A and B are shown apart, each in its own frame.
Chain A
Amino acid sequence: MANEEKAEGGFEIHPFDQFEVKNLFNDGPVAWYSITNVTLWMALAVVCVFLLLVMSTKGRAIIPTRGQSIAELAYGFVYKMVVDVAGKDAVKFFPYIMTLFMFIVLANFLGLIPMSFTTTSHFAVTVVLALAVFITVTVVGFARNGAGFLSLFWVASAPLPLRPVLAIIEVISYFVRPVSHSIRLAGNIMAGHAVIKVFAGFAASAVIAPVAILGITAFYALEVLVAFIQAYVFTILTCVYLKDALHPHH
C-alpha cells in the first residue's frame, strides 16, 4: 500500500524505520552488550518505575499526595487482579506480576512519545516476557501438583470418549499460549505505531494533510487506550495461567 502511494504522489513512507535497533554511540553492528536505543528506553522505563513507585511514596503519607495516589492505585489494581483471578495463594507471585505490568505499561506509554522507541513492539522482548510466564507457570504447576498438574489437560467433567480429544486440544492450546501471549502484545503495539507513521507520511501532501493529521490524532487516542489495555491483558492472562498452575483442576 505504501508503495502504491509512493508511486502515485512521491510520498516517503517508512513505517518500520521507527522500530530499528541502533547503537546509540557508534554505527557498528549491534552486539549483545552494545548500548542501543533499546537500552535507553528500557532504562527510562526503569527510571519511571523508580519515580512512580519509590520517589512518589517517599512521604508515606496517610493522606496521599497525587504521586502516591498513582502508586497506590497501580499497586491496588495489580494486587486485586492477582487475588481475584489467581487466588489468595498467588500473592507471593505479586512482585513478579507487578514487574511485568509496570514494565509493559511504561514501555507502551514511553513508546507513545513522538520520536521514541517502543521496546514492546519487538517480538524479541515480548517472546521473552511470555516465555518467562510460560516457564514459570509450568515449573510452578509441576512443583506444586506433581503429576496432578497434567489433570489440567484431562477434562474430568466431559464424557469419557471425548476426553482424549479434548486432552489433545488442551495440550495444543497450552503450548500456543506463549505464542499468542507475545504476538498479541507486540502485534498490537507495532501495528498501531506503523499506522500512525503511514498517516504521518501522507501528511506531506497539503491536500491530504488535514485528513492525515485527523487520522494521526484519532489513532494516537486509540493507541493510548491500546497501550494500557495490552499491558492489562498481558497481566491478567499471566494471572489466568498462574491460576492453572496453582489450581489445575477444572
Chain B
Amino acid sequence: MADDANSVAEASGAGMPQLDFSTFPNQIFWLIVSLGAIYYILSRTALPRIAAVLAERSGTITNDIAAAEELKLKAVAAEDAYKKALADARAEAQKIATETKAEIQADLNDAIAKADAEIAARSSESEAHINEIRESALSSVAEVAKDTAAEIVATLGGKADSAAVAKAVDARLKGGAY
C-alpha cells in the first residue's frame, strides 16, 4: 500500500492531484466565475424564456381544449335538434296516417251502408216478386186441379157439375193435401 502511494506520488508528482492545495485558488476562482456566468445566463435569459414558452403552451392547450369543448356542445345541440326534427316528422306522419285511415274507414262505412241498403231493397223486392209468383202458382195449381178434376169426372162418364167439382177441389186443397 505504501509502495502504491509512492508510485502514484512519483507518477503525478505530489500524490493525488485532488490534494494538491496549490491549485485550489485557481479552481475555486474559475468555479465561481463559471457559476456566476451560468447563473447570469439562466436567470437573465434561459429560465424566463423557457417559463414563458411553457406558460404559453399550456395556455394554448387550455384554449384549444375549451374550444373543443364548445364545439362538442354545439355538435350535441345539433344532434338534439336533428333528433327533435326527426321525432316531429315521425309524429306528423303518424297523424297523417291516422287521419287518412279514419277518412278511408268513414268512406268505407258509407259505401258498406249504401250497399247494405241496396241489398236490402233488392232482396225485399225479390221476396215480393217470389211471393207474387208463388201466389199465382197456387192459384194456377187450383185452376189446373179443378180443370183436371172436371176432365177426369167427364171422362169417367159422370156429369160434371163444375161448381161441385170446384168446391170439392177447394176443400181438398184447404185440407192440406200437400
Contact = CB atoms under 8 A, between A and B. Distances in A.
Interface of A: 1-3, 6, 14-17, 19-21, 29-34, 36, 38-39, 42-43, 45-46, 49-50, 53-54, 57, 60-62, 64, 68, 71-72, 75-76, 94-96, 98-100, 102-103, 119, 121-125, 128-129, 186, 190
B8 A49 contact: no
Given A29-B22, A36-B30, A16 B11 contact: yes
Contacts of A129: 31
B28 interface: yes
Contacts of A34: 26
A62 B57 contact: yes
A124 to B, nearest CB: 4
Nearest to B39: A99
A33 B26 CA distance: 6
In which size bucket is the chain B interface? 35 or more
Given A20-B13, A39-B30, A42-B30, 4 more contacts: A29-B22, A38-B31, A61-B53, A95-B39
B49 A31 contact: no
A88 to B, nearest CB: 15
Nearest to A14: B11
B53 A124 contact: no
B12 A38 contact: no
A186 B18 CA distance: 9
Given A2-B8, A72-B54, A33 B29 contact: yes
A26 to B, nearest CB: 13
A121 B27 CA distance: 11
A90 B57 CA distance: 24
Contacts of A36: 23, 26, 30
B26 A38 contact: yes
B30 A38 contact: yes
Contact of A19 (B16, B28, B60): B16
A38 B41 contact: no
A45 B54 contact: no
A39 B3 CA distance: 33
B34 A54 contact: no
Contacts of B4: 1-3
B28 A124 contact: yes
Given A19-B16, A62-B56, A122-B18, A49 B41 contact: yes
B155 interface: no
Contacts of B156: none
Contact of A20 (B17, B32, B39, B51): B17
18 contacts: A1-B4, A20-B12, A21-B23, A29-B22, A32-B28, A33-B29, A36-B26, A38-B30, A42-B33, A45-B38, A49-B46, A53-B45, A54-B41, A64-B53, A124-B24, A125-B27, A128-B32, A186-B18
B35 interface: yes
